[in-house]
Structure 1
Amino acid sequence: MVLERIQRENDIQKIAKEDLPVLAQEIREFLVEKISRTGGHLASNLGVVELTMAMHLCFHLPEDKIIWDVGHQSYTHKILTGRREGFDELRKYGGMSGFPKRKESQCDAFNTGHSSTSISAGLGYVEARDIRGEDYHVISVIGDGALTGGMAFEALNNASHLEKNFIIVLNDNQMSISQNVGGMSRYLDGIRTADAYTNLKKGLEKAIRKIPSGGDQILSHLRKTKSSIKQLFVPGMFFEDMGITYLGPVDGHNLKELIRAFREAKKVKGPVLLHVLTKKGKGYLPAEKEPSRFHGTEPFDIRSGKPLK
Structure 2
Amino acid sequence: MSTEIAPATLPAGPATADSLARSARTVIATEAAAIRSLEPRIDGDFSAACRTILACEGRVVVTGMGKSGHIGRKIAATLASTGTPAFFVHPGEASHGDLGMIMPQDVVLALSNSGETDEVLFILPVIKRQGIPLIAMTGNPRSSLAQQADAHLDVSVPAEACPLGLAPTASTTAALVMGDALSIALLEARGFTADDFARSHPAGSLGRRLLLHIADIMHRDDGIPRVPPQASLTEALMEMTRKRLGMTAVVDAEQRLLGVFTDGDLRRALDDRNVDLRQASVESLMTRGPKTVTPDKLAVEAAQLMEKHQIHALLVVDADNIVVGALNIHDLLRARVV
Q: TM-score range by the shorter chain?
A: under 0.3
The structure with the largest alpha-carbon Rg is 2
Whose strand proportion is higher, 1 or 2?
2
